[in-house]
Structure 1
């Protein structure tokens, strides 16, 4: 059975549109990797969607004076439209449809029926004034591990899970002046410690593409007993839990990733017209699927630890994800993107004003792969002009001078050079050392080399050949230029072409800021 790669980027919360921080993080990287795999003849599915079960939907709606359902409907359309505007080609885009809910409930019901979930008393902040337990986005305080300020559930700083009852000085996000107390509630949990050695063994074999921050977090988490993971919450927002012992509770949204990922695969295959679009077929242990996640660092625990534990709890029914490519925060003028403070650049707005290839190139060049990086309009204009637009247009003009003279011979030297070009780009696109930043560096270096090339008589075919190879290798990033200039975007393999027929090449339009 041939391997199919399933690429997943975690669904953003349906509490607003996508800003550049989202695009520069997991989405552009996932799209580029998927396009590269297709260009090299491999079978791939790319999936994401939106999540409406997060408590952040409720808190954002409260701040905006909207009903949560209205916010979800608006955000779902915005997210899908912005992905398309940025050229992120998604095979499966999931939402809050009944089929998704059925998949989540079916997954947790199987675990429950097999005795994998246990009823435990867990402490939560509680508001006597409202009679509500506070979890995740409803409550914030200090992380008990790294002391950073944030909401319950997951720490954006250290990546560890934060039990709501363990927050330092917890405050309600809806009413910070509301006096809180700790109160126990009986919830269903997955006893994570049972699966710690299984998770450790899995990452010892896989996860070679993990970046340092994620590797550090995983090592820290697995160095000590793993806390029980709540599968149900004593709140009303979310998917209702079907278990009588926790009547009135909902499924923890951070316990959804394994089931959501299974649904992603089925939906993606179905929309591609593939025969494997049946329930959980692509996730079965013998399915031959390679699962890869592109995700923000703060999603490490729910997708790489809790979800892997839940998959292990199925006793071999399902395969496990093999690779996780994380990113750090992408900042705006050296400060974190903030919708509430109006400190934000919306992805769709920028693509409407700036040629899409320039946006994709700059986001790739400044990708927050291992540390926080920064966006500014001035840098976008300067970097794209000097590193992309000017050298490409110079190279394209020189190719134009050779049109009408083909087919021209391509030397063995040039075919060998083309193979090295392909190798350099492949070293950036393959997962073991995946890096958008280095891919743009390779592209910049190659364009500069071509722009410096003083073409002597007899080298015209070599020059045009190497220009085409560079563009094919850059096509996963420069999607519009490649679509206009090339009959297809396949990346060459083997001995390469022996002749080339020069054709007029399109120019890139710069942006002055």
Structure 2
């Protein structure tokens, strides 16, 4: 049987016009609040996942871009500034720069990162957005009673107050509950108190600008039923819509944020959560301006928007943002996919500054490579339930999967290729039933990996599980060398076939893990003679005979020892929320 393929090892290069082609996918993750450094809980959620999806889409030849920014007008920035008795702008600037640095260290820097405090165009875009809503009568003024702290002379909302959720009785801040995801009007919080002086607030009358969300209930229901949502998100939006939507405050009596652009409300600030909607449109406008413009993207039925967020923000992204877009302009393209994550815990507890219970992303990346951390966070990503990080489990999983499993196989394969075939991929030989089954398995592996990366099925945990199984199956195949080691010609031909299949398996390991471990996979591509790191096959193609395998033994990971993680890492107190 003649079965060698001359181009088997080649990943086809994308069209040269790719970089000038229209954007077909925009990926958004929530702008992190710059009131502290990013911890592993943040990285494990939307930020790493968004980067990995973008990398996979690029592999498939899709022009995808990833966008996020800094939520610099958020009330939590003011909270941190008041606690530290320094300017909110200093806090926002310090941690916005730190956030960008950490994302870069994890090879997950976005294509566009916006900074509201330093972008006049951003401010104008947001202000114009709300002016249009107001002039179209989508917004209304309303007098109501709101929590007020007489001790601090401060209106309480969002970050400035705490209490018990009236829906699930969990500890809760103003606006929404991180645990159950349901909104609250701040007044309804049980046993509410001021975050600064801990006293109980009084109710004081005030006038604010609101968006009547209930007016968009039918449109929201139709939209949300048209897209693929996870079971928990479906349950949340149905519950919220069934209860009836509240009026959404567009302005707050606050000292920090963008000034409200409405006559008579100059002393109020725009709600930072509402600001995110025009903020996303601004980013979308900026990043598509070089690719045939925003209008073409909005009118393109093939263009898609994928949105990542944590469940604690689900109400804002499933209800508030779409409602604001519907009120603004019905031609605005709404997200086509929403991918959420649950909380990532640290030794069974939420990451918390106040309890000195945190693992800062910038600290652990000094002790382990970004690829290693990306792999672990993918394996333990809290996709549908809470998962957790622990130092012992991190070290155990990495040593088992990437050292004892992957690296030992690569070293063994490198040795055999060098000794038996002078570092060159051999020609194919005799096929056996084991070989036939393995090639069918590789095809199934590729199909399942393709599905696991698709936004509607997106699961990094499944990708890691597939990679683990690929290692087990391939190692089982490699054992054949022990029984085919003599000079019998048929044995040698069977052994050659096994070697080709092993190299093919390693090629697909590199391709599938590339979005998760980009630095490792790039080394592996070079060692295997693969010309492009961007590429995704629909069908398995065998490694070509004569392919030179170079420096394969250098594509390994080093063992991790728990001694490299000092106790001080567990006591860093930079981040609270």
Asked whether the two chains share a fold, i.e. TM above 0.5, the reply is yes
Aligned position for 1:329: 343
Write the distance in 1 (CA, Å) between the matches of 2:254 and 2:509.
54
- The alignment status of 1:452 with 2:472, answered yes or no, reads no
Aligned position for 1:190: 211
Write the distance in 2 (CA, Å) between the matches of 1:357 and 1:397.
19
Structure of greater Rg = 2
1:164 to 168, 179, 186: 186
Higher RCO (CA 8 Å, separation ≥ 6 residues): 2
1:101 to 123, 143, 146: 123
Residues 161-201 of structure 1 show CA distances to partners (whole Å, capped at 9, x for unaligned) of 22122222221101113x52111221111111111111110
1:80 to 97, 100, 104: 100
How much has 1:327 moved relative to structure 2? 0.7
Write the distance in 2 (CA, Å) between the matches of 1:152 and 1:281.
37
Write the distance in 1 (CA, Å) between the matches of 2:206 and 2:373.
48
Aligned position for 2:142: 120
Once the two structures are superposed, the pairs formed by residues 457-468 of structure 1 within 5 Å of their partners are 457-459=495-497, 460-468=499-507
The gaps in structure 2 that reach 5 residues or longer are: 1-20, 481-493, 526-530, 563-577
Residues 401-458 of structure 1 show CA distances to partners (whole Å, capped at 9, x for unaligned) of 2154535346894664433221121121111211111111111111122223224422
How much has 1:512 moved relative to structure 2? 1.7
How much has 1:2 moved relative to structure 2? 6.7
Once the two structures are superposed, the pairs formed by residues 471-482 of structure 1 within 5 Å of their partners are 471-482=510-521
Aligned position for 2:277: 258
Write the distance in 2 (CA, Å) between the matches of 1:55 and 1:282.
35
Contact conserved, 2:511 with 2:536, CA < 8 A, in 1? yes
Aligned position for 1:137: 159
Residues 238-284 of structure 1 show CA distances to partners (whole Å, capped at 9, x for unaligned) of 100110032211110111222111122234446xxx334x5x54663
1:424 to 448, 452, 455: 448
Change (3 A) 1:15 1:139: same
Contact conserved, 1:5 with 1:44, CA < 8 A, in 2? yes
Write the distance in 2 (CA, Å) between the matches of 1:139 and 1:19.
24
Contact conserved, 2:130 with 2:261, CA < 8 A, in 1? no
Aligned position for 1:173: 195
Residues 273-299 of structure 1 show CA distances to partners (whole Å, capped at 9, x for unaligned) of x334x5x54663447431111110011
How much has 1:89 moved relative to structure 2? 3.3
Q: Would you say how many aligned residue pairs link Structure 1 and Structure 2?
A: 505
Aligned position for 2:325: 311
TM, length-normalised to structure 2: 0.83
Once the two structures are superposed, the pairs formed by residues 282-361 of structure 1 within 5 Å of their partners are 284-286=298-300, 288-361=302-375
Residues 342-380 of structure 1 show CA distances to partners (whole Å, capped at 9, x for unaligned) of 211011211110122211111111111111111111101
Partner SS state of residue 41, structure 1: coil
TM, length-normalised to structure 1: 0.93
- The alignment status of 1:41 with 2:61, answered yes or no, reads yes
1:243 to 262, 268, 272: 262
The gaps in structure 1 that reach 5 residues or longer are: none
1:374 to 388, 392, 396: 388
Contact conserved, 1:286 with 1:319, CA < 8 A, in 2? no
- The alignment status of 1:512 with 2:561, answered yes or no, reads yes
Write the distance in 2 (CA, Å) between the matches of 1:376 and 1:498.
39
2:459 to 428, 432, 435: 435
Partner SS state of residue 7, structure 1: strand
- The alignment status of 1:483 with 2:522, answered yes or no, reads yes
Write the distance in 2 (CA, Å) between the matches of 1:49 and 1:491.
30
RMSD of Structure 2 on Structure 1 (CA): 2.0
Write the distance in 2 (CA, Å) between the matches of 1:175 and 1:54.
20
- The alignment status of 1:9 with 2:33, answered yes or no, reads no
Write the distance in 2 (CA, Å) between the matches of 1:282 and 1:260.
19
Aligned position for 1:387: 401
Write the distance in 1 (CA, Å) between the matches of 2:202 and 2:31.
33
